């Protein structure tokens, strides 16, 4: 499957900040439930988060939403600083996190310009009744480990297996990450960038598309589509 290059397009114009993607991601990837304590300590974990910026002065205040997840950079600053290869770049353009190797130096998190990496300060716990709802395809991360958006790698692997078994690419073509699947406004579009007629690769070169913090030259596989709004231009870069 090396001809596959997974990518995503985030249409800031469509995003309504409903947080559905966040919840879907938590359910899919066994992310521990954040208590208020975790938020006050700035230790909450959310592989995809909606950043909310207020614009304008009262009474005409506008809320701007920016979904941020791991950008799966081509030049990922987080990768080379890991002493134990716990994170590296695979041949499908994804930034892989290997939980077993991680020793928790947290250097990758320091070096991630998108704040997309999260550290398990505590051993994750769920209410007793939830234990049976955990996704069997996804590891539960112990304390002391970095974690981040994996582009739902478990789904990708499953789809790849099916595709290989059935000998056609349908499974891969229809593949969705949890967040993209859950997005009611289709603000998140996930797909194979090497497939020219996939929706994502068409939106990818849209004239509205831009890259978060382009000056760092991380060459992400996630692009954003500007808000259609006279303020959008400076907003997208300013914050």
Partner 1 sequence: MADNKDIMGVFADTDTAAEGARQLKSAGFVQDDYDVLTGNPYPEGAFGEHVKPNRLFVFALAGGFVGFAIAFLFTAATQTAFPLVTGGKPILAIPAMMIIMYEMTLLFAMIFTVTGVIFESRLPRPSGAGPVYDTRITLGYIGLIVTTSEDRLEKAEEALKAAGAEDIVRESS
Partner 2 sequence: MQNTDGNEAVIPGAPATQEILTQELLHDSLQTGSRMRKALLISGVLSILGFVGLFMHFASGTSDHTTWNFYAVIYFYVFSVTMGIPMAGIGLRMARAQWRRPTSRSAELFAIAGPINLIFFIPILLVAPPIEGRNSLWMDWALAPWFPDIIMMVLLVVTGLAFLYVSLLPDLASVRDHGTGRAQSIAATLSRDWNGTKSQWSLHKSALGILGAFYITAYAMTHLVLASDFAMTLVPGWKDPIFPAFHAVTGIQMGAALLIITMYLLRRLGGLGRYFELEQFWGYSRLLLALSLFYFYFWWCAFVLFWYARLPHEQMVIALFISGDYSEASIFTRPQFLMFLGAIGFSFILPFLLLMWNILRRSIVAPTIVGVIVLIGGFFDRMRLYANSWSIDQVGGHGLHHLPEVNAPTIPDLFVLIGMVSSILFLYLLVSRVVGFVSLWETRQALLLRFVKPWGVGHASVVIKPE
Partner 3 sequence: MQDRPTLTPTQINDELLWPVFSFRKRHAVAFIPPMILLMGGVAAVTILIYQGLWVTGLQRPAFWGFFIVNFVFWIGVSHAGTMISAILRLTQAEWKRPITRAAEVMTIFSLVTSLLHPVIHAGRPWRIIYWLIPYDFSRGIWPDVRSPLVWDPIAITTYLTGSILFVFTALIPDFALIRDQSTGLRKKIYGRLALGWRGTPRQWKLQGIFGLLMSALILPVFVSVHSIVSWDFAVSVVPAWHVTVYAPYFVIGAVHSGVSMVLTLMALMRWIFKLENYIWEDHFDAVGRLLIVIATLWLFFFFLDFAYSFYTREEQELAVMERRLFEWPFNAITVIMVFTSYVIPIPLWLSRRVRRNIPLMFWTSILVNIGMWLERYFLIIPAIERKNELTFLWSNYVPSLIESLVVLASFGMVGFLLLLFAKVVPLVPAWEAKEGVIFREDVQFGEVTLPGIIKETEEENVW
Q: How far is the CB of 170 from partner 1 (least distance, A)?
A: 30
The CB-side HSE value for 57 (13 A sphere, CA atoms) comes to 0
Binding partner selected for residue 177 from partner 2, partner 1, partner 3, none, CB under the kind-specific 5 to 8 Å limit: none
| Window contacting partner 2 (CB under 8 A); options: 74-82, 132-140, 143-151, 189-197 | 74-82
Give exposure, 156-166, as e/b (b: 16+ Cβ within 10 Å).
beebbeebeee
Q: What tokens were used for 10?
A: 């985030």
Count of residues that interact with partner 3, criterion CB under 8 A: 42
Residue from 17, 44, 77, 195 that binds partner 2 (CB under 8 A)? 77
Give the angle 212-10-15 at the CA atoms, nearest 5°.
115
- Under rule CB under 8 A, residue 75 binds partner 1: yes
- Under rule CB under 8 A, residue 105 binds partner 1: no
- Under rule CB under 8 A, residue 219 binds partner 1: yes
Binding partner selected for residue 35 from partner 2, partner 1, partner 3, none, CB under the kind-specific 5 to 8 Å limit: none
Q: Is the dihedral of CA 154, 137, 72, 227 positive or negative?
A: positive
CB-based contacts of 221, cutoff 8 Å, min separation 6: 5, 6, 7, 8, 71, 72, 73, 74, 93, 94, 193
Binding partner selected for residue 102 from partner 3, partner 1, partner 2, none, CB under the kind-specific 5 to 8 Å limit: partner 3
- Under rule CB under 8 A, residue 146 binds partner 3: yes
The DSSP-derived string for 50-113 is: EEEEEES-TTS-EEEEEEE-----TT-TTTTT-TT--EEE-TTS-EEE-TTT-----HHHHH-T
| Window contacting partner 2 (CB under 8 A); options: 122-130, 159-167, 215-223, 227-235 | 215-223
- Under rule CB under 8 A, residue 62 binds partner 3: no
Which residues of this protein are in contact with partner 2, per CB under 8 A?
A: 75, 77, 80, 215-217
Which residues of this protein are in contact with partner 3, per CB under 8 A?
A: 41-43, 51-53, 66, 68, 77, 80-85, 101-107, 109-111, 113-115, 118-123, 143-146, 212-213, 216, 239
């Amino acid at each position: 499957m090396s001809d596959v290059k997974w990518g995503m397009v985030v249409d800031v114009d469509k995003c309504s900040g409903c947080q559905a993607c966040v919840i879907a991601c938590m359910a899919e990837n066994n992310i521990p439930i954040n208590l208020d304590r975790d938020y006050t300590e700035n230790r909450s974990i959310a592989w995809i988060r909606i950043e909310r910026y207020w614009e304008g002065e009262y009474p005409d205040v506008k809320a701007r939403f920016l979904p941020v997840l791991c950008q799966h950079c081509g030049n990922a600053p987080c990768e080379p600083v890991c002493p134990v290869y716990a994170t590296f770049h695979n041949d499908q353009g994804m930034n892989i996190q290997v939980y077993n190797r991680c020793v928790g130096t947290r250097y990758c998190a320091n070096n991630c310009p998108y704040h997309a990496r999260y550290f398990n300060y505590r051993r994750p716990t769920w209410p007793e009744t939830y234990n049976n709802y955990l996704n069997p395809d996804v590891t539960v991360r112990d304390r002391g480990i970095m974690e981040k958006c994996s582009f739902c790698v478990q789904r990708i692997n499953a789809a790849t297996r099916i595709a290989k078994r059935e000998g056609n690419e349908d499974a891969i073509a229809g593949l969705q990450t949890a967040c993209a699947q859950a997005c009611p406004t289709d603000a998140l579009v996930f797909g194979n960038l090497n497939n020219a007629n996939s929706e994502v690769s068409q939106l990818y070169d849209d004239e509205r598309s831009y890259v978060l913090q382009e000056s760092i030259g991380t060459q992400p596989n996630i692009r954003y589509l500007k808000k259609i709004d006279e303020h959008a231009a400076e907003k997208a870069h300013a914050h």
